[in-house]
Structure 1
Amino acid sequence: MKLYSDAALAKILDKPIFRQISASADELGLECYVVGGFVRDIFLERPSNDIDVVVVGSGIEVARQLQKNLGKNPKTGRWRAHLSVFRNFGTAQVKMGNMEVEFVGARKESYSHDSRKPIVEDGTLEDDQNRRDFTINAMAICLNNARFGELVDPFDGIADMEDRIIATPLDPEITFSDDPLRMMRCIRFATQLNFQIEDDTFEALERMVDRIKIVSGERIEVELNKIMMAPHPSIGFEYLQRSGLLQRMLPELSALDIVEKKEGRAHKNNFHHTMEVLENVCQHSDNLWLRWGALLHDIGKTRAKRWEPKAGWTFHNHDYLGGKMVPEIFRRLKLPMGSEMRFVQKMVELHMRPIAIADEIVTDSAVRRLLNDAGDDINDLMTLCEADITSKNEVRKQMFLENFRMVREKLTDLQEKDYKRLLQPVIDGNEIMEMFHLKPSREVGTLKQYLKDAVLDNRVENEREPLMRLLMERANAMGLSTEHQEQQ
């Protein structure tokens, strides 16, 4: 963070766009301020392209005046800036190339208990700053020429940034009750900036968690994805868990935060393990959906958990059960149900496969099967599996990682030999149906899988003649022949 005087702020803002906004507001005799995240990020020395301008009066009129002052292109006769007006919201947007400026009139808001939509009235700058979510977002810098660069910071947001604290300008309970999405934004900002949530603010958040039910799934999805893409998303999920929000949004993950002990034997805390895996993945990938795969990879463990007197606590088939849970989680959280969901489901279902291979002799057959099932996502799967090794036993950890290195080498070798192309047997289901006069059925699937397994296990070359011999042997054993007619 860096502190600036008003004169230094004026120098930072001494750019054509701000001078043009200043002139437009002065021509109309209206107070005008740049506010919110753009101001915050100046002090935090973070890049920001979101320019929000508050006008004490009509923001739409200042936006119109700005477009007028910027003029038209003499060659095309078109305005240099594109103006969009949203009269129902009292806002306007001016876009010039890659730069966008949002204009709004200063306002005060009041809320009903069952809605996030406020009753809005015209207000002063003070009213507008009072309605802001956090002190670090409630600062304003004047753009009028007479006060250009003057900071207005009524809630000491500068001090909170110095202390790396997220706090609300007014009573946090009222702030969160009025607009419960602010609870998610509170945690999101703490995660993105690596700030602490101030004690009174967090305690109010804990008390108000049930209010999250009036927030749409789409708005929650946006905040969750922003948390997920932060440098250290586990900060956010720890806050979500501690506050009780996670239990209301993603109870399957929250339920992993438990350690059960029986006969002196305890299993690990799988929530804490998941956070470690998520952080490990984030060190190597900024793929949002791989991060979701890491978050959900052990989601099936609560359902799979069993006590076995000899083995202790077991989680057999948690990968299979977890994969079945992914579509419902995505549907509930309003996450995309297409290729993104299928990718995450694949990561969850397959995340134990490389570990099982690495725990034994790394055979070509096992790696072929893995490559066939993972397809083009094999590198992401390996990244997740390597991140999943969080054992405190360094000898065992290094053994797994070394075996994973061998798995990767074999994957590379097999890919270079174009096994992906060879993995599908040259005799397909259509030919099998034609040969044995079958319709699509379990019998056809059994024969196809038999040939595929033979190729994957390297028991036979993926060539027509040896595969045909194998097919006929298996078909005879099933009571099928080329004369077989399906019963009508």
Structure 2
Amino acid sequence: MISSKPLDIPCSLQERKVLEKIALAAHELRVPAFLIGGFVRDKILGRRTKDMDVVCVGDGITLAHQVAAALGDNIPVSFFKTYGTAQVKWHEFEIEFVGARKESYRRESRNPEVVAGTLEDDQNRRDFTINALAVSLREADYGALIDPFGGIADLDKKLIRTPLEPAQTFSDDPLRMMRAIRFASQLQFTIADDAFKAIQENADRIRIITQERISDEFNKIMLSPKPSVGLDLLYKAGLLKIIFPQMTDMVGVEMYEGKGHKDNFYHTLQVVDNISVHTRDLWLRWAALLHDIGKPATKKFEPGHGWTFHGHDAVGGKMVTRIFTKFKLPLHDKMKLVKKLVELHLRPISLTKENITDSAIRRLLFDAGDDIESLMMLCEADITSKNKSKVKRYLENFELVRKRLKEVEESDRIRNWQPPVTGEMIMETFDLKPGRVVGDLKNAIREAILDGEIANTYEAAYAFMLEKAKALDLTPVK
């Protein structure tokens, strides 16, 4: 019986059940089958994973249907005849099936010419040794680990290495360069010297990869435990300059009259790491990545003062839209959130000064709305000084800002607030049509409330509106 044999990788009872079903189905079809790739790697590393890749020396689609039938519950099979692949979802597992393949590439494309092959052929085409590990599901050697390239040793060494000559591996499929960096960032591994040199030499070939694939890998790097590892590798490999030149524009320190500014690139990487300690939200990490993106365009040396970056928050906000469009990222809620946080990230810092008015607090609450906590998280992550006492003082100041925000919010209820007198009320009161006068009156009411000039009530706002209307020779209709 297949189930009586042990596995060379640690698996739960449910995982064993799935693998036994696959093994039995493959045995009935008389096709050798193997569990391969990321699932094997992650189980050895003790990482949680639910995605299984199964390669068989035969028809992967037929095997997928056989497995689905064995698992029961009328499980559907998603398959793609063109690529010879199929997918079965069962409980939390997503199982991909494909026939063993041998690949060859044309230089102008990452899409390979594919022919049927052996397990050895399939392992040869894998990107890294740690992803070429396979577990046999054959009856004769069920559960045996097949490691032709020393992937287990590389896992022990925490090393990213290619099965074949690295320059050829990366030239064949340039996306593998970003995948190498992504795995190094996710797993906190080191890329082998010859592999990293090959990435540097082949960096320009990333241009043949679609933006969607590049963005997908970039976002996975951003979601790493410590994103700076991958971002710094992208820069040192020469890839970042090609895929994200606005980031590399921030690299370096310029000196003039003995005065320099901080390296805004490495400062940004630290900010991304800082915020990543507190959140896995991809878009808050993007806000951290882009918070100073406007600095290169606004950098100026002022004699007697030093380097300034006046207006980099506003310039950066405008750049967010262009960057999200280029990266094909969501252009609605997610982009608007990042844009808002970039534009507002200096405001809480100004509130740490003494004698800040309630008006300034109200305006920040009004502008930030429900994103005020995310904004404060970004501002605290923006503290990157190596001076511990300075960091402590900054954090204490931000705690005072939080206290003031809470006090004013409880008193005035400004967050997500709308003025008590609407544009429709103004038009009805003075028999006006939509236009500039209506907008001016509405804005005047809003500013008066935010400045604390009048109370945040309908009665006070209505009375204020009537006074303002007199100056415009407007008379309420009877």
Class of the TM-score when normalised by the shorter of the 2 chains: over 0.9
Aligned counterparts of 1:228 and 1:421: Cα–Cα separation in 2: 30
Matched, 1:481 2:466: no
Per-residue Cα deviation, 1:296-330 (whole angstroms, up to 9, x for no partner): 00000011111110221000010000000101100
Aligned counterparts of 2:435 and 2:386: Cα–Cα separation in 1: 49
Conserved in 2, the CA contact under 8 Å of 1:59 and 1:103? yes
| Change beyond 3 A, Cα 1:162–1:455 | same
2:283 maps to a residue whose letter is W
| Change beyond 3 A, Cα 1:154–1:421 | closer
Matched, 1:363 2:362: no
Matched, 1:177 2:187: no
Matched, 1:420 2:419: no
Aligned to 1:9, the other structure's residue is in SS state coil
Conserved in 1, the CA contact under 8 Å of 2:369 and 2:415? no
Once the two structures are overlaid, the 10-residue window that deviates more, 246-255 or 10-19, is 10-19
Conserved in 2, the CA contact under 8 Å of 1:166 and 1:196? yes
Using the TM superposition, give the Cα deviation of residue 30 of structure 1 relative to its aligned residue in structure 2, in angstroms.
1.9
Aligned to 2:8, the other structure's residue is in SS state helix
The within-5 A match list for 1:270-419 is 270-417=264-411, 419=413
Unmatched 5+ stretches in structure 2: none
| Change beyond 3 A, Cα 1:317–1:11 | closer
* Selected match of 1:250 from 244, 251, 256: 244
* Selected match of 1:459 from 453, 469, 476: 453
Aligned to 2:103, the other structure's residue is in SS state strand
* Counterpart residue number, 2:111: 117
Aligned counterparts of 1:43 and 1:291: Cα–Cα separation in 2: 29
TM-score of the two chains, using structure 1 as the length reference: 0.91
Conserved in 1, the CA contact under 8 Å of 2:409 and 2:415? no
Using the TM superposition, give the Cα deviation of residue 472 of structure 1 relative to its aligned residue in structure 2, in angstroms.
4.6
Per-residue Cα deviation, 1:129-157 (whole angstroms, up to 9, x for no partner): 11001110011111111101111111101
Aligned to 2:140, the other structure's residue is in SS state helix
Aligned counterparts of 2:427 and 2:24: Cα–Cα separation in 1: 78
Aligned to 1:413, the other structure's residue is in SS state helix
Per-residue Cα deviation, 1:135-190 (whole angstroms, up to 9, x for no partner): 10011111111101111111101111111111111111111111111111111111
Calculate the aligned-residue CA RMSD, in Å. 2.2
1:57 maps to a residue whose letter is G
Conserved in 1, the CA contact under 8 Å of 2:10 and 2:43? no
Using the TM superposition, give the Cα deviation of residue 439 of structure 1 relative to its aligned residue in structure 2, in angstroms.
4.4
The within-5 A match list for 1:182-201 is 182-201=176-195
Once the two structures are overlaid, the 10-residue window that deviates more, 173-182 or 390-399, is 390-399
Aligned to 2:180, the other structure's residue is in SS state helix
* Counterpart residue number, 1:268: 262
Conserved in 2, the CA contact under 8 Å of 1:167 and 1:198? yes
| Change beyond 3 A, Cα 1:44–1:431 | same
1:311 maps to a residue whose letter is H
Aligned to 2:115, the other structure's residue is in SS state strand
Using the TM superposition, give the Cα deviation of residue 95 of structure 1 relative to its aligned residue in structure 2, in angstroms.
2.5
| Change beyond 3 A, Cα 1:336–1:11 | closer
Conserved in 2, the CA contact under 8 Å of 1:113 and 1:177? yes
* Counterpart residue number, 2:22: 21
Matched, 1:53 2:54: yes
Conserved in 1, the CA contact under 8 Å of 2:161 and 2:191? yes
Matched, 1:130 2:131: no
* Selected match of 2:220 from 212, 226, 229: 226
Using the TM superposition, give the Cα deviation of residue 18 of structure 1 relative to its aligned residue in structure 2, in angstroms.
1.2
Aligned to 1:360, the other structure's residue is in SS state coil
Per-residue Cα deviation, 1:52-74 (whole angstroms, up to 9, x for no partner): 1111122222223323444x56x
| Change beyond 3 A, Cα 1:426–1:68 | closer
Aligned counterparts of 1:421 and 1:330: Cα–Cα separation in 2: 27
| Change beyond 3 A, Cα 1:298–1:10 | closer
| Change beyond 3 A, Cα 1:448–1:394 | farther
Using the TM superposition, give the Cα deviation of residue 372 of structure 1 relative to its aligned residue in structure 2, in angstroms.
0.4
| Change beyond 3 A, Cα 1:308–1:444 | farther
How many aligned positions are there?
471
* Counterpart residue number, 1:63: 64
Aligned to 2:414, the other structure's residue is in SS state helix
1:248 maps to a residue whose letter is I
Per-residue Cα deviation, 1:428-480 (whole angstroms, up to 9, x for no partner): 23333455565444444333222222211212112345434544554555xx1
Conserved in 2, the CA contact under 8 Å of 1:423 and 1:456? no
Conserved in 2, the CA contact under 8 Å of 1:422 and 1:462? no
Aligned to 1:114, the other structure's residue is in SS state coil
TM-score of the two chains, using structure 2 as the length reference: 0.93
Aligned counterparts of 2:68 and 2:143: Cα–Cα separation in 1: 22
Conserved in 2, the CA contact under 8 Å of 1:56 and 1:106? yes
| Change beyond 3 A, Cα 1:299–1:483 | same
Using the TM superposition, give the Cα deviation of residue 483 of structure 1 relative to its aligned residue in structure 2, in angstroms.
5.1
| Change beyond 3 A, Cα 1:370–1:7 | same
| Change beyond 3 A, Cα 1:401–1:11 | closer
| Change beyond 3 A, Cα 1:443–1:310 | farther
Once the two structures are overlaid, the 10-residue window that deviates more, 220-229 or 230-239, is 220-229
Aligned counterparts of 1:438 and 1:448: Cα–Cα separation in 2: 13
Aligned counterparts of 2:373 and 2:397: Cα–Cα separation in 1: 15
Once the two structures are overlaid, the 10-residue window that deviates more, 445-454 or 197-206, is 445-454
Conserved in 2, the CA contact under 8 Å of 1:427 and 1:464? yes
Unmatched 5+ stretches in structure 1: 1-5, 74-78
2:284 maps to a residue whose letter is L
Aligned counterparts of 1:465 and 1:50: Cα–Cα separation in 2: 61
1:32 maps to a residue whose letter is A
Once the two structures are overlaid, the 10-residue window that deviates more, 389-398 or 349-358, is 389-398
Using the TM superposition, give the Cα deviation of residue 43 of structure 1 relative to its aligned residue in structure 2, in angstroms.
1.4
